[in-house]
Chain A
């Protein structure tokens, strides 16, 4: 019962899960965060032993016995604790022996946010890989029949009787034009895989300045593009044209989302460059990376598409092709980088991370 341990009540205020164990590994105390993390009430937990909590609890049990034997002052490690039927818990674990025979071991579990983020990124990466494969195959499957449809319509047009040629050609022309429209769409879906990757030394600020002037030429009034550059960022090997296209697509989206504020005259875009140290991008760790932010004060991305904005054919804009961000992401991925996005009303931040030498 918690009431028998009044001194521990303050632990309920902590965000870390705290569990106190008896000499047999039985749970004598669990704070509110622990109940939350383990999705069980203390009442249920108090009937359980540490070894029963997780499918793969051996490592944790070892630590417990070492703690009982006072083999260390405290021990920290990152564990993925598996529970049947649920996602594994990614936790930073601290085991501390206590000088109290009734409660000899204190166990602290903190959710490992970094690991969760990595897992999520990994899933997204796999998914985007699978998507790309699907799109490619589908696009190719569409091209052949499309060739047949267009060809047959062209042949039909040649067979049309002279007398009605004018009226009847309208029909064949609709078929041909619509086939061409699909063909263009399919070509655009395939485009990122087809463009050659031309590598040279890239100065990211040249890329930013180019995009900035292109956008300002299109939106001359009501839009401010503020630069916040870290000029010490080194050049890196990459395809400048691809990066311009990637950045342009993102900034152009932002400018379009800012339409209302542009009319009001207070639309603001920020291009911010920074370096980031010790980053993991797409499962690989880099010492240094470019951290480029494109921040706007527009209405934000609608929450129902936020998870899918990088998927092809997903667009929040009427008439949008839904290919801009897919293309941007493909190009950034070709530079071993990633694009991340955070958005709420009044603040949208697209972030391009690319490893630096």
Chain B
């Protein structure tokens, strides 16, 4: 099974997600920026992608657009601590 990709600039959030998914025996691969994830898309794809929105560099929404354009079949889960996006 292909891994679940976790994209978040916050290390502790990545850690929690990795651990939580590992408990369910799900393989993960983590990225600290959308740029790294976009680059990794050239050599492989995830089963599911979980991404934060606000990160230094390209945002999670930009990552979402890239994925939807190239691999429309991959489910993407967007998570964010920013509850007001105005």
How far, in whole Å, are A158 and B22 apart by their CA atoms in the complex? 13
A145–B12 CB distance below 8 A? yes
A155–B83 CB distance below 8 A? no
* Residues of B in contact with A, size category: 10 to 19
Report chain B residues within 8 Å CB of A149. Answer: 12
Min distance, Cβ B86 to any Cβ of chain A, angstroms: 7
Report chain B residues within 8 Å CB of A140. Answer: 81-82
Asked whether B13 is an interface residue with its Cβ less than 8 Å from the other chain, the reply is: yes
Q: A134-157 interface mask toward B, CB cutoff 8 Å, 1 = contact, 0 = none?
A: 000000100111111101100100
B10–A144 CB distance below 8 A? yes
Contacts across chains A and B counted by CB atoms under 8 Å: 46
Report chain A residues within 8 Å CB of B15. Answer: 148, 152
B23–A155 CB distance below 8 A? yes
Asked whether A76 is an interface residue with its Cβ less than 8 Å from the other chain, the reply is: no
Please name 15 pairs of A and B residues whose Cβ atoms are closer than 8 Å in the assembled complex, sorted by A: A140-B82, A143-B81, A145-B12, A148-B10, A148-B12, A148-B13, A148-B15, A149-B12, A152-B15, A152-B16, A152-B19, A155-B19, A155-B20, A190-B84, A193-B86
Q: Please report A residues at the B interface, Cβ cutoff 8 Å.
A: 140, 143-149, 151-152, 155, 158, 187, 190, 193-194
| New contact pairs (19) apart from A144-B10, A145-B10, A145-B12, CB-CB < 8 Å | A140-B81, A140-B82, A143-B83, A144-B12, A144-B81, A147-B13, A147-B81, A148-B11, A148-B12, A148-B13, A151-B17, A152-B16, A155-B16, A155-B19, A155-B23, A158-B23, A190-B84, A193-B84, A194-B83
Q: Please report B residues at the A interface, Cβ cutoff 8 Å.
A: 10-13, 15-17, 19-20, 23, 81-84, 86
